[in-house]
Structure formats: structure tokens, C-alpha cells
């Protein structure tokens, strides 16, 4: 999937031995991984595993205690480096006087001063981006009145319109129904290939991403295991990561990661990384 010249150029994102400690607590512990162009990478971990902190580090908003973050081979210090970002699910005010297309347009130049000058070229660029995320039909709706899946599309278009090489999405599937989540994942996988960008998407459930991930970065206890899904989502690797025994169960092409299984009466009180809600998902589209 990765094109040949990518071998010689540096990875789009290179995270090297990043340590973050906040008020004495270790949030990230020597986290290292890299993502190349055209790679769709999942950042998997339960709530509080440090996913959002890692995003803040990559964006340059969170100082590190050790380690480096390189974006296209350069340290992530200066402003204006090409990173698209979709933050964790937040509530857009339904009364905000802002159409979907206005928010996408802000993705072009929100950091500039003054009001944007409307032009045919700008309008066409916004239209093209809306088309790319299949959002033309609600382009003129107030952005706060769109459904969760529709808002995600608009936020993705906002993040992508300035043509970043790296796109970060913090839990974009949280609070989406199964169908919308599936659509958003398909959209992101397609954009990753078409635009040859590096995509890092965090999620607390691995299953919605299983078919499309090129690589997985699995965060637990502040540490990360990284590789292809087959290399990482294994009982030995994850047990090592969690520091206690973990079972990985394959159920009809889905995985269940269960702590302390084997003594099946013992589930309660142990950490269950993926809650039992996974089991009810057999009617996925």
C-alpha cells in the first residue's frame, strides 16, 4: 500500500521514546512508533490509557519529559506544520450561527486574522472537500444541528481541507451508532489511500477498525505495543503490555480482549479492556 518513494523519505510521524509525567503520575512511558504516508493506524486503549495526552504531545500542546516527535522529519515545535486534528467528541451548540460549509472553510485559514474574502475558488475548494466526505447535501445546514456522524464528516473535512500530511482523530467513533461508525471508518480508509496521508485514529474498541488498519499502536499502562494487528493483538504481547495475563478471543472475525479469562467466574473485579457490549454486536452491517 505504501508507495515506493516513501522508503527513502522520513515517516510522516515519528514518535521516539516519549515520556509524559503529570503530577508524579506516569501517563506515557517511552512510547515509540512511526507512521508512513498512506498508512491508516489505530491508536487503541481504554479510557485513561493516555491517547488524548499522546495527541496533545504530537500537536505540540503537551510538553514531554523526554523523547521527540518528528513530523516529516522535523521536530514538532514551529507553528503551521501540516497536522489535521479532529478533537474528542464535543457538543456543537445547535444555535451556533455557522453552516457546515463555514466550518470547513475555517479549516483553510482559521489562524489568519481578518474575515475570509469570499471567492469562487474558495467556494469551489470547500465544495470539493464536502464532496470528498460525502457531505454536500447538508453543506448549508447549521453545523450544530447535524447528527453525530454528519458532524464527524464535517470535522474531518475541516481538518483535511488545508491538505495536511498527517491527520489525527481522537475517538471519532465514540457516540456514533454502528452504521455511522462504519461509514466514517470507510471514509477515512479511502481518504488515507487517495490522498496518501498518514492517519492516526484513537479508539477504545478495536473491532470497528479491524478490517482497515494497516498498523495498530496499542496503549496500556502508559506503554505502547506497535505493529500490524496480527503482531500486536496477541495474548503474549498484550499480557506483557498490561503486566498481567490477558486472553485474546477471536469470535467471527472480531476480537475480544479479556483480562483474567480462563477462570471465567473471575471476570468481575478484573480489568476488561473491551466491555461485554462487544458481544451484542453480531448484527453489524
Partner 1 sequence: MSFVLGAIFAPGFFTSEPVHIALAIGAVAAIVTGTVGVFTVARGQSFAGEAFGDIGTTGGSGAFLIGVGPLWGFVIGNLLAAGAMEAIGIQRARGRDLATGVVLGASIGLAALFLYLATTEQSTTGATVTILFGSVFTIASSTIPLVLALSAVVLGLMFTLYRPLLLATVSPEMAAARGIPVRLVGALYLVALALGAALAAITIGSLLGTALLVGPAASALRLTKRPLLAMATAAGIGIAAMWLGVVLAYDSYEWPPVGHGWPVSFFVVTIVFIGYLASGLPGRRRGGRDQTPAAATPAPRLPAGD
> Which residue of 67, 87, 148, 227 would you call a contact of partner 1, by CB under 8 A?
87
What cell numbers appear for 225 in the block? 505495543
E strands in the chain = 13-22, 25-35, 40-44, 66-71, 74-75, 83-86, 166-169, 198-203, 215-220, 223-227, 246-251, 254-259
Minimum CB separation of residue 191 from partner 1 in Å reads 18
Query: Does the footprint of partner 1 cover residue 103 (CB under 8 A)?
Result: yes
Name the minimum Å distance from CB 236 to partner 1: 36
For 119, phi and psi rounded to 5 degrees?
Answer: -145, 160
Q: Does 88 bind partner 1 (CB under 8 A)?
A: yes
Q: Residues 244, 235: contact at Cβ < 8 Å?
A: no
Among residues 5 and 80, whose Cβ is nearest to partner 1? Answer: 80
Which span (121-129, 137-145, 192-200, 274-282) binds partner 1, by CB under 8 A? 137-145
Q: Nearest 5 degrees, angle CA 34-CA 40-CA 45? A: 75
CA 148 to chain centroid: 16
Which of these segments, 75-83, 121-129, 213-221, 253-261, binds partner 1 (CB under 8 A)? Answer: 75-83
CB 231 to partner 1: min, Å: 30
Is residue 59 within the footprint of partner 1 (CB under 8 A)? Answer: yes
What is the 8-class DSSP label of residue 217? E
For partner 1, the closer of residues 138 and 218 by Cβ is 138
Toward partner 1, which CB reaches closer, 11 or 84?
A: 84
Q: Say whether residue 137 binds partner 1 (CB under 8 A).
A: yes
The reply on whether position 97 binds partner 1 by CB under 8 A is yes
Verify binding: residue 90, partner 1, rule CB under 8 A: yes
| Residue 138 binds to partner 1 (criterion: CB under 8 A) | yes
CB 80: neighbour CB atoms within 10 A? 7
Cell of 123: 467556494
The verdict on 47 binding partner 1 (CB under 8 A) reads: no
Comparing C-alpha atoms, which of 226, 218, 280, 222 is closest to residue 246?
218
Nine-digit cell string for 188 = 477515512
Using rule CB under 8 A, residue 205 touches partner 1: no
- Shortest separation between residue 158's beta carbon and partner 1, angstroms: 7
282 CB neighbour count, 10 Å cutoff: 9
Contact 80, 162 (CB under 8 A): no
Q: Where are the strands (E) in 79-231, listed by range?
A: 83-86, 166-169, 198-203, 215-220, 223-227
By CB under 8 A, name the one of 85, 218, 242, 274 that touches partner 1. 85
Q: How many other C-beta atoms are found inside a 10 Å radius of the C-beta of residue 30?
A: 14
Q: How many residues bind partner 1 (CB under 8 A)?
A: 38
Stretch that binds partner 1, among 111-119, 120-128, 177-185, 218-226 (CB under 8 A): 111-119
Name the residues that contact partner 1, by CB under 8 A: 59, 61, 79-80, 83, 85-88, 90, 92-93, 95-99, 102-103, 106, 109-116, 137-143, 145, 155, 158
Amino acid at each position: 500500500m505504501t508507495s515506493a518513494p516513501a522508503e527513502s523519505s522520513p515517516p510522516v510521524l515519528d514518535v521516539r521514546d516519549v515520556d509524559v509525567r503529570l503530577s508524579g503520575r506516569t501517563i506515557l512511558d517511552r512510547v515509540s512508533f512511526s507512521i508512513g504516508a498512506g498508512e491508516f493506524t489505530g491508536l487503541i486503549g481504554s479510557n485513561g490509557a493516555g491517547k488524548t495526552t499522546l495527541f496533545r504531545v504530537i500537536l505540540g500542546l503537551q510538553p514531554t519529559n523526554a523523547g521527540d516527535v518528528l513530523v516529516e522529519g522535523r521536530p514538532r515545535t514551529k507553528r503551521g506544520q501540516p497536522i489535521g486534528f479532529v478533537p474528542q467528541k464535543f457538543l456543537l451548540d445547535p444555535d451556533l450561527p455557522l453552516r457546515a460549509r463555514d466550518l470547513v472553510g475555517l479549516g483553510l485559514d482559521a489562524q489568519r486574522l481578518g474575515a475570509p474574502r469570499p471567492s469562487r475558488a474558495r467556494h469551489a475548494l470547500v465544495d470539493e472537500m464536502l464532496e470528498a466526505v460525502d457531505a454536500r447535501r447538508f453543506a448549508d445546514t447549521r453545523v450544530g444541528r447535524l447528527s453525530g456522524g454528519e458532524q464527524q464528516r464535517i470535522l474531518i473535512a475541516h481538518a483535511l481541507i488545508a491538505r495536511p500530511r498527517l491527520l489525527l482523530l481522537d475517538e471519532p467513533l465514540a457516540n456514533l451508532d454502528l452504521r455511522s461508525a462504519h461509514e466514517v471508518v470507510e471514509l477515512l480508509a479511502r481518504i488515507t489511500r487517495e490522498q496518501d496521508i498518514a492517519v492516526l485514529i484513537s479508539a477504545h474498541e478495536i473491532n470497528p477498525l479491524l478490517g482497515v488498519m494497516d498498523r495498530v499502536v496499542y496503549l496500556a499502562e502508559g506503554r505502547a505495543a506497535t505493529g500490524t494487528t496480527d503482531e500486536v493483538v496477541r495474548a503474549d504481547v498484550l499480557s506483557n503490555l498490561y503486566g498481567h495475563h490477558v486472553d485474546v478471543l477471536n469470535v467471527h472475525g472480531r476480537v475480544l480482549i479479556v483480562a483474567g479469562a480462563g477462570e471465567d467466574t473471575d471476570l468481575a473485579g478484573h480489568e476488561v479492556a473491551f466491555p461485554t457490549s462487544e458481544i451484542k454486536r453480531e448484527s453489524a452491517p
